[in-house]
Amino acid sequence: MIKLISMFYANFIVGFEKLVGKIFKEKYPETKILQTFNGAILYETPNKKEVSAPFLNNQFIVFDQSKETDIGTFINGLDCSGLEKPKDKKGFRVIVSDKSELVSISESILGGLENKIKSKTGNYINRRKPDIEYWVLRRSEGTILFMERIGKHKSFDKVLEKGELREDLCYFLNYLSKPHENDVYLDCFCGSGAIIKSRIKSKFNMIFGIDTNKEHISKLKKVFKKQNNVIFKNIDFFKNNFNNDFVDKVVTDPPWGFYEEIDNIGVFYQKIFDEVTRLLKPDGLFILLSARKDEVKNTNTPLKLLEQYDILVSGKKVGAYVFQKRPSNF
């Protein structure tokens, strides 16, 4: 086994592997992605610090990795040489995950690893309420990792409203829109405003949020009452009074028709594309999140599909699309 220095492992939304690679190359050029998995990366940094990014979840510092096929053999071979003694003793536990499932291992193998950790760190075992979690994780691709958890994502179910998008997903959607300080930006089904709350972290010209839910719009107006260039309207998107070619970017998550009453979902999506096409400036971008892949595919639109990412959202297969309005003389 090889001792690894400044190596980290992190999860992200499955399906965004290529996009994460692109973001790392652009925003974190000092890092090096060593391996990309399905919904995770193994990367290295020169400053021994993990990348702090809103789209990375459950980060770990990696001490050892191997292509061993047997978890027990891997654990028995660990020397824990990368572990350090903290100033104050802390409680720890060992968690073993095999292909995304938490598993039990024999007490003799587990105890052997725990004793090695105790010897190297001076810490004590606390399997119920530990300060530190050490993980042995085997991926379906065959890689086994020995790691310490250093970051854990929020419990989204506890902090999000019903139907509200996660912060990491909103980040990806807005990144795909290529944010610019001159953007006139629209979320035409803004709901509780998660996409817009993510977008305002970058410079913009104007932001508009539209939704038929009066309560959502009322709350958002209060939250953004001091920002004159962030405007919310409690109107039907299909009855808006915006001028043609007014908007640079449309980023939205419209109703999918699974939880709402929509008479004809195909017609509904066609109307969305027609109105977005009217509003977008030439070369403007339309970023769409939807589980209605067939309806999106069958829509008759002059917009050009540039990118598509097939991801999972709340257990559903969803598409994240990037469309562009081509100039009239194209």
Domain boundaries, the chain: 7-153, 158-324
Question: Which amino acid type is present at position 213?
Answer: N
- Return d(Cα 306, Cα 134) in angstroms, integer: 42
**Residue 72 pLDDT greater than 70, yes or no:** yes
Question: What confidence score (pLDDT) does residue 96 get?
Answer: 97
- 143 burial class (0-12, 13-18, 19+ CB within 10 angstroms)? middle
- The pLDDT confidence band at residue 200, using thresholds 50, 70 and 90, is very high
What does pTM read for this prediction? 0.92
Q: Is it true that domain 7-153 has CATH number 3.30.750.24? A: no
**Residue 270 pLDDT greater than 60, yes or no:** yes
- The pLDDT confidence band at residue 278, using thresholds 50, 70 and 90, is very high
Q: What is the secondary structure of 262-328 as a DSSP string?
A: -S-HHHHHHHHHHHHHHHEEEEEEEEEEES-HHHHHT---SPEEEEEEEEEETTEEEEEEEEEPPPT
Helix axes 17-27, 167-176, angle to 10 degrees: 70
Question: What confidence score (pLDDT) does residue 256 get?
Answer: 87
Once rounded to an integer, what is the mean pLDDT over residues 277-299?
97
Q: List Cβ neighbours of 107 (8 Å cut-off, separation of 6 or more).
A: none
Which residue is it, tokens 């090695």?
Answer: 116
**Residue 2 pLDDT greater than 70, yes or no:** no
Class of domain 158-324: alpha beta
Question: What confidence score (pLDDT) does residue 329 get?
Answer: 47
Q: What is the secondary structure of 182-206 as a DSSP string?
A: T-EEEETT-TT-HHHHHHTTS--SE
